[in-house]
């Protein structure tokens, strides 16, 4: 009985999502613009650069040509890369997992060239740079 209840509740949640959120109806890679284009059930289209999406950042155009849409319409799959993107997350601006996104943000922050960062770097350099890492006393 519990399994049937769980399945029933999951089905109800899926139906609510189907009614509330747009789904992918078609997806393609546009070589001219270098972007993945997804047409949604809401009649809107979304496009993004593959370099900005987890699993696609190093893809060649030939690896992006085939895109499959999940039966629910909430996911797209790139079979040549074995990479997947979730449409609701994509619409919220997330092109990867939380860990991947955090790493990307860290890279961007590391490239920052603010006056404060430059001044701090110069001051640290005058002091001899970053201190050497100490080895643990135990090993």
CA–CA separation, 51 and 24 (whole Å): 20
pLDDT at 80: 96
As given in the structure block, the two tokens for residue 44 are 């809107």
> Which DSSP symbol is given to 50?
G
Cβ-proximal residues to 35 (8 Å cutoff; 6+ apart), any chain: 29, 47, 48, 49, 50
Mean predicted confidence (pLDDT) in 119-128: 76
The answer to whether residue 86 scores a pLDDT higher than 80 is yes
The answer to whether residue 139 scores a pLDDT higher than 90 is no
DSSP conformation letters of 101-128: HHHHHHHHHHT---HHHHHHHHHHHHTT
pTM of the model: 0.61
Domain ranges in the chain are: 22-96, 97-127
To which H or E segment does residue 29 belong? strand 24-30
pLDDT at 33: 96
pLDDT 10s digits, 104-121: 555 555 555 678 767 777
**Best CATH choice for the domain 22-96 from the list 3.30.2020.40, 3.20.20.80, 3.30.365.10, 3.40.50.720:** 3.30.2020.40
Of 115 and 85, which is predicted with more confidence? Answer: 85
The dihedral sign for the CA sequence 83, 100, 30, 39? positive
Of 116 and 98, which is predicted with more confidence? Answer: 116
pLDDT 10s digits, 26-82: 999 999 999 999 999 989 898 999 998 888 999 999 999 999 999 989 999 999 999
Single out the residue of 15, 22, 14, 16 nearest to residue 69, CA to CA: 22
Task: Check: CB of residue 104 under 8 Å from CB of residue 54.
Answer: no
Of the pLDDT bands very low, low, confident and very high (cuts 50, 70, 90), residue 122 is: confident
């Amino acid at each position: 009985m519990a399994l049937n209840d769980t399945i029933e509740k999951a089905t109800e949640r899926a139906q609510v999502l189907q009614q509330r959120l747009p789904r992918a109806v078609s997806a393609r890679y546009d070589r001219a613009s270098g972007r993945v284009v997804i047409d949604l059930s809401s009649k809107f289209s979304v496009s993004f650069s593959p370099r900005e999406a987890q699993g696609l950042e190093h893809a060649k155009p030939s690896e992006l040509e085939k895109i499959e849409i999940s039966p629910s319409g909430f996911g797209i799959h790139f079979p040549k890369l074995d990479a997947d993107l979730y449409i609701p997350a994509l619409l919220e601006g997330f092109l990867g997992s939380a860990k991947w996104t955090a790493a990307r943000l860290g890279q961007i922050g590391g490239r920052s060239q603010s006056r404060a960062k430059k001044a701090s770097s110069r001051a640290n350099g005058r002091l001899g740079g970053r201190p050497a890492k100490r080895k643990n006393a135990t090993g």
